[in-house]
Amino acid sequence: MGKRILITGAAGFLGSHLCDRFLSEGFLVVGMDNLLTGNIKNIEHLFPVKEFEFYHHDVTKFVHVPGAIDYILHFASPASPIDYLKMPIQTLKVGALGTHNLLGLAKSKGARILVASTSEVYGDPLIHPQTEEYWGNVNPVGPRGVYDEAKRFMESITMAYHNFHGVETRIIRIFNTYGPRMRLDDGRALPTFMSQALRGENLTVYGDGSQTRSFCYVDDLVDGIYRLLMSNYHRPVNIGNPSEITLLQFAEEVIALTGTTSKIVYEPLPQDDPKQRQPNITKAREILGWEPKVDRHEGLKRTLAYFKEHI
């Protein structure tokens, strides 16, 4: 009998790729999603698969799953800045109450749980690149506070369940990730730039475009998650691609790749927008033997193919 894994946020961008990966590794997959920001189309192809089940459920409410569960991946949450600005309370609840419910489930089932934390725990970072030892620079009452603090609480309660209840826990800090199945209208830089380029609209760069991010292709991220889950390391691990780029350069790359006649226009920088972000991935390299394999040119090409089909 294959191992059984519960994946929350299963209809989302990352959750749906995780369902695919764990099914291909021979797991029985239980997907769970309340479809607040997830899209059932992302997992439609899995409904005929007998090793896949789906629960339409909100994990901020008590979570009941009959039968054995060996692993849990908690990936449910609004994850783009415009989503958590629109849904601040849900964002706090899924990171806090949802995590609590899933840790309780892990404890009662004897399951190992991996929770999806984020580079946002570093806030607008004062050290660069960010190592796991850095405690961060977060504004708790700013617009991003609802996401950042929910994820910081997630890490704290996860460590508490590990230390106090002996639950087997894993914490990943995910840096900017992109690829097929991102929502075209999720407001993040890549889907926005690609949709604008494909529609012949101007690309909206916020601020002067000098802020940086480091973008990881989704298949690389999923491989890092798989390796971390299977490892015996319970402290937080950064997973991301250290190749750092300014947002202005990023917009220019999208323009060049799509061959659009669109230009760049500048709009105001959102409050508390981090100025720079790059993961230090020494831990992932040493502990998991992981590093990203797909470079940005290749990753953007694959993503463009998806966006062309879905625009």
Please give the residues from 224 up to 253 whose contact with ligand UDP meets the rule CB under 6 A: 247
Query: What is the rounded distance in angstroms from the CA atom of residue 31 to the CA atom of residue 43?
Result: 9
Which range of residues in 55-63, 67-75, 234-242, 266-274 is near ligand UDP by CB under 6 A? Answer: 266-274
Query: What is the rounded distance in angstroms from the CA atom of residue 299 to the CA atom of residue 250?
Result: 13
* CA dihedral over 133, 174, 244, 120, signed as positive or negative: negative
Complex with ligand UDP: residue 170 or 188, whichever CB lies closer: 188
Which range of residues in 23-31, 130-138, 200-208, 299-307 is near ligand UDP by CB under 6 A? Answer: 200-208
Which range of residues in 44-52, 126-134, 151-159, 204-212 is near ligand UDP by CB under 6 A? Answer: 204-212
Which range of residues in 19-27, 37-45, 219-227, 267-275 is near ligand UDP by CB under 6 A? Answer: 267-275
Residues 6+ apart with CB under 8 A from 38: 9, 10, 11, 12, 15, 16
Judged by CB under 6 A, how many residues of this single chain contact ligand UDP? 15
**What SS3 string covers 248-294?**
HHHHHHHHHHHCCCCCEEEECCCCCCCCCCCECCHHHHHHHCCCCCC
Query: What is the rounded distance in angstroms from the CA atom of residue 56 to the CA atom of residue 74?
Result: 15
Residues 80/186, Cβ–Cβ less than 8 Å: yes
Which of 176, 241, 278, 280 is in the footprint of ligand UDP by CB under 6 A? 176
The answer to whether 192 contacts ligand UDP (rule: CB under 6 A) is: yes
- Considering the complex, what minimum distance in angstroms separates the CB of residue 212 from ligand UDP? 8
Query: Closest residue to ligand UDP, Cβ-based?
Result: 188
Which of 39, 139, 195, 204 is in the footprint of ligand UDP by CB under 6 A? 204
- Considering the complex, what minimum distance in angstroms separates the CB of residue 80 from ligand UDP? 6
Which of 205, 221, 228, 281 is in the footprint of ligand UDP by CB under 6 A? 205
The answer to whether 213 contacts ligand UDP (rule: CB under 6 A) is: yes
Complex with ligand UDP: residue 31 or 209, whichever CB lies closer: 209
- 223, two tokens: 């491989």
- 169, two tokens: 């826990």
Which range of residues in 5-13, 43-51, 166-174, 186-194 is near ligand UDP by CB under 6 A? Answer: 186-194
The answer to whether 270 contacts ligand UDP (rule: CB under 6 A) is: yes
Q: Of 130, 160, 187, 155, which Cα lies nearest the Cα of 74? A: 155
- Considering the complex, what minimum distance in angstroms separates the CB of residue 99 from ligand UDP? 20
Please give the residues from 3 up to 32 whose contact with ligand UDP meets the rule CB under 6 A: none
Residues β-bridged to residue 216 = 177
**Count of CB atoms situated within 10 Å of the CB of 110:** 11
If DSSP codes are grouped into helix, strand and coil, which group holds residue 225?
A: helix
- 298, two tokens: 């290749």
Please give the residues from 273 up to 302 whose contact with ligand UDP meets the rule CB under 6 A: 273
Residues 216/244, Cβ–Cβ less than 8 Å: no
Active site residues: 147
Complex with ligand UDP: residue 8 or 80, whichever CB lies closer: 80
Point out which residues bind ligand UDP (CB under 6 A).
80-81, 176, 188-189, 192, 204-206, 211, 213, 247, 269-270, 273
